[in-house]
Each structure stands twice: as C-alpha cells, then as structure tokens.
Chains A and B, each alone.
Chain A
Amino acid sequence: MISVYHYMSVAAILFAMSTYGVLTRRNAIVIFMCIELMLNSVNLTFISLSSHLQNIDGQIFVFFVMAVAAAEAAVGLALMIAFYRNRESIDVDNINMLKW
C-alpha cells in the first residue's frame, strides 16, 4: 500500500534536486524552470497530505500556488526579455548592474 510518506519522499527528492539546479545553473531560464519544479514538488506535498487528512483545503492552496506560478511566469519572462535587450544574454553572471 502506498502511504503518504512515499509521495512526500518523492517531493523531497525533487525539491532538493531543484535546489541544486537553482544554485548551480547560470542560464536564467533554467533557474526559472527549477523554481517551477520546486513549486510543483510543494504542490505534490499539499495534495498528498490533503488526500491523507481527507481535507480539501490543501487542494485549494494548490490552486493558489498555480495562480502565483502563472503570474510569476509572465513577469519573470518579461524581465528576462527586458534584460536580454540590454545585455544580449541571460547569463545570471552578467546581472551585476546593481552591484556596488
């Protein structure tokens, strides 16, 4: 029988893996995709606990996480296009204009 721990272990592995991706990658779009992966692993935790506790509130929260992820995608990708227009690359090593 699959318990809630199985699902949460998968979510933990995905979350840790995408943490590594966020910290090591230099391409801003790949970092963005890793953040989406983190949000998705949290969604998996929400839904598995919601199903285990037999309470629907967790699934409503997943709905809001998805709304925030969609807003983040729109604004984040617009930021990347604006940055690419200035610097001709989206390497995060080049994002140093605010560095003193």
Chain B
Amino acid sequence: MEILLFYSVALVAVLSGFLVIRCQSPVNSALGLVNTFFCLAIFYVMLHAPFMAAIQIMVYAGAIMVLILFVIMLLNLGIEARKRYTHGIVWSALASLMVLFGTIYFLKRGRVTGAEGDLTAFQIESIGHTELIGRSMFTEFLLPFEIASILLLVAIVGAVVLAKKEV
C-alpha cells in the first residue's frame, strides 16, 4: 500500500517537474513547482520528518512561491516567444542525461551503510520531531544558526538596495 502511494506521488512529482521546465507561460511553471513542493512534503511525512514537511509547505509553497508569483505578475511577463534556441538543446540534453546516469550509476554502485545515530521512528513519535530538531539546532548547530540569521539580514538589505530606483 505504501509503495503504491510512493509511486503515485513520485509520478506526480516528476510530471510536475516536467511541467516546470516545459511550460511556455511562467505562471504555469510556478503552479507546477508548487505541485512538486507538495509532493516532496508528502515524501518528508513518509520519511518520518513531519516538521520538515510543515517547513517545506510554509517556506517554499508559501513564502518563496508567493514572491515568485508576485514578481511574475509585477513584470507582466507574457508567453515566451518561440525563438530559435541559442542554448544548444542537444548539448543541454546530453549534459542532463550525463548527470542522471552519473547519479544513478553511483547510486547503484555504492551501498549505504546501516544506522549510525540513535534516532528511531519510535523516538520521533514519543519525543516529537520539532523538539528533536530544536534540541540539535540550539546546542550543536548554534553557530551556523546565528550565521544563517546574519545571512538573512544581509539578503533583506541587499534586496531593498537592489530594488530601489536610485540608491
């Protein structure tokens, strides 16, 4: 039953990803991207990471997609004109196929080792995923967390400076 759910969600995710790269209108691409984000959130729930699924929906499908759609609407972008491709569609297809075969090859060749940590599904259910993430983040990963906050501050200032008409 679970494998059936996995395959159907994977199919929807890949098809929506295909929609993102093939649609002529950017708004349709954005809708496909939202669909892919929701499929990945379902995967995260299946992998016993419910907090990550919530963050995925709130940050990606909520904040980032609203930003992208806002810019699309603001710039009033129409359907992309069908011009001759200058980017070498064959070479691009070859490059992406090489990426695909490389990753699949290493996936088939290598073997993932067994469990290393002590985080079991039972522990996630009894303690709570959010609490585990918070414990790890505010003890072991406190410095990267602070650096991320500085990065976000820099991004805010940079976005305001770039989007202003005259600095």
- A residues near B (Cβ < 8 Å) are 1-2, 4-10, 12-21, 23-27, 29-30, 32-34, 36-37, 40, 43-44, 47-57, 59-60, 62-64, 66-75, 77-82, 84-85, 90, 93
Q: Are B26 and A13 in contact (CB under 8 A)?
A: no
Q: Which residues from chain B sit less than 8 Å from chain A, CB to CB?
A: 2-3, 6, 10, 13-14, 17-18, 20-21, 26, 29-30, 33, 36-37, 40, 43-44, 46-49, 51-52, 55-56, 59-60, 63-64, 67-68, 71-72, 74-75, 77, 80, 83, 85-89, 91-93, 95-97, 99-100, 103-104, 107, 112-120, 132-133, 136-137, 140-141, 144, 148, 151-152, 154-156, 158-160, 162-163, 165
Q: List 25 A-B contacts (CB under 8 A).
A: A5-B112, A10-B14, A14-B13, A14-B36, A16-B97, A16-B100, A18-B17, A18-B20, A19-B95, A20-B95, A20-B96, A23-B88, A23-B95, A29-B77, A30-B20, A37-B20, A47-B43, A52-B115, A56-B119, A59-B52, A60-B136, A63-B55, A64-B148, A70-B59, A78-B163
Bound CA–CA A68/B151 (angstroms): 8
A17: contacting residue among B21, B48, B155, CB under 8 A = B21
Given contacts A12-B104, A59-B52, A60-B137, 8 further A-B pairs with CB under 8 A are A5-B107, A12-B107, A17-B96, A21-B21, A52-B115, A56-B132, A63-B137, A78-B160
